[in-house]
Amino acid sequence: QAARRGAAMEPERECRVLSIQSHVVRGYVGNKAATFPLQVLGFEVDTVNSVQFSNHTGYAHWKGQVLNSDELHELYEGLKLNKVNRYDYVLTGYTRDTSFLAMVVDIVQELKQQNSNLVYVCDPVMGDKWNGEGSMYVPKDLLPVYRDKVVPVADIITPNQFEAELLTGRKIHTEKEALEVMDMLHAMGPETVVITSSDLQSSLGNDYLIALGSHRRTKADGTKVTQRIRMESPKVDAVFVGTGDLFAAMLLAWTHKHPNNLKVACEKTVSAMQHVLQRTIKCAKAQAGEGNKPNSAQLELRMVQSKKDIENPDIIVKATVL
């Protein structure tokens, strides 16, 4: 008993994440969507707020400040001067500025020199598809920076289908093509690629969304092993903001806890996601009242209320190994 208690008492080695994302005063996107789940799952999170806005830009109004690349560099210099710039993970999401993104790459490369085991988790946020038509919601000149500078230093990337197509210059119409695109993305650098949403047809019907994951690792003898999975999760009929940020943060946590089991890491990530979204839509509809469409404020993710689901998700979405 005592020995077992001793083992339980033994502190897990501190795992520290540098998260460079946007910050909102009200609501949950960017760092506000990533920090709480990571902390709940036992990570130390150091945040750099790439913007500080009153709320996300899906509201009628927003106000705030934007951090430029010099200011980012200055914050990083402060950490460096105090020799507290050792990280296990870097996490990044939505960025609108090419010089800011290039500065992030410089910082990641320097941190990887400090710690060769550092894992960079990048959500290459560039755009999405609406009714089958893809469009970019960041300036077009970010694409070459992501493709040529960011993705090659990233270890885990979480593009949606449209972003995966942009990065590789290849369209996806079938699952086979999706797997080929993921192989192309592996060849660019990342060991883990998760296409978080696609317009592939689910065998379960139109109310389901297909996500695909691929993990490629090199064994001790130099051979490469690839694990590929498919997940089909129920669509939730609402426009949420911050879901991609939450997804990337939880995927970071669960791949850390299950390093060579993408299936389990994704099942926990996607299941937790479903719990949060179901709770959010239920609360939003109750607030909006019968027959009314919930507004942006009512659709903010119910993060704190979902603490138990984030910490220990009941697996409601299973992954199929391909």
Active site members: 245
SS3 278: helix
Q: For residues 228 and 218, what is the distance between their CA atoms, to the nearest angstrom? A: 15
Report how far residue 86's alpha carbon sits from residue 88's, in angstroms, rounded to the nearest whole number.
7
Q: Long-range contact list for 293-300, CB < 8 A, 24+ apart?
A: 294/238, 296/55, 296/56, 296/58, 296/59, 296/241, 297/26, 297/27, 297/55, 297/59, 299/238, 299/239, 299/240, 299/241, 300/26, 300/27, 300/28, 300/241, 300/242
Task: Let me know: does 200 contact 162? Beta carbons within 8 Å.
Answer: no
Look at residues 242, 235, 320 and name the one whose alpha carbon lies nearest to residue 274.
235
- Quote the tokens at residue 130: 């609406």
Give 3-state DSSP helix, strand, coil % of the chain, rounded to 5: 40, 20, 40
* SS3 state of residue 33: helix
Cα distance between residue 237 and residue 287, in whole Å: 16
Cα–Cα distance, 199 to 195 (Å, whole number):
11
- How many Å apart are CA 307 and CA 312, to the nearest integer? 9
Q: What sign does the CA torsion over 52, 55, 59, 63 have?
A: negative
Cβ(213)–Cβ(178) under 8 Å?
no
Nearest of 241, 155, 141 to residue 194 by alpha carbon? 155
